[in-house]
């Protein structure tokens, strides 16, 4: 049961006609300097994790990913499928 649930959670699907947008991590930080520094370090770790996930789970290169994360990138379902961001397009 756990394996089946894990597999279900890892499925990447989108609907025909939908678009997806990817961009860098966005955060807002305020407070004491030490809190800001800690938050920045946590944000760097999270951004590294996101990049690592994209590289492992898609067909996109790290160079292509770096360029695309600098701006908002919007792809339709077919482009997402081509690049490995989704495994299946659900037609309705």
Domain that holds residue 61: 2-90
pLDDT at residue number 10: 58
The whole-model pTM stands at: 0.68
Model confidence pLDDT, tens digit, residues 53-68: 889 888 889 998 888 8
Q: Which pLDDT belongs to residue 15?
A: 64
pLDDT digits (tens, 9 = 90+) for 2-43: 455 445 545 677 667 666 667 777 888 899 999 999 999 999
> Read out DSSP for 66-91?
HHHHTS-EEEEHHHHHHHTS-SEEE-
Whichever domain contains 9, its CATH number is: 3.90.226.10
Q: What is the pLDDT of residue 34?
A: 95
Tally of domains within the chain: 1
């Amino acid at each position: 049961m756990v394996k089946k649930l894990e597999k279900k959670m890892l499925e990447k699907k989108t609907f025909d006609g939908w678009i997806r947008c990817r961009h860098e991590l966005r955060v807002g930080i305020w407070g004491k300097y030490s809190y800001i520094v800690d938050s920045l370090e946590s944000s760097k770790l999270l951004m590294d994790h996101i990049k690592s996930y994209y590289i492992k789970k898609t067909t996109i290169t790290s160079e292509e990913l770096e360029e695309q994360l600098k701006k908002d990138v919007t792809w339709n379902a077919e482009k997402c499928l081509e690049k490995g961001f989704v495994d299946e397009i659900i037609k309705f």
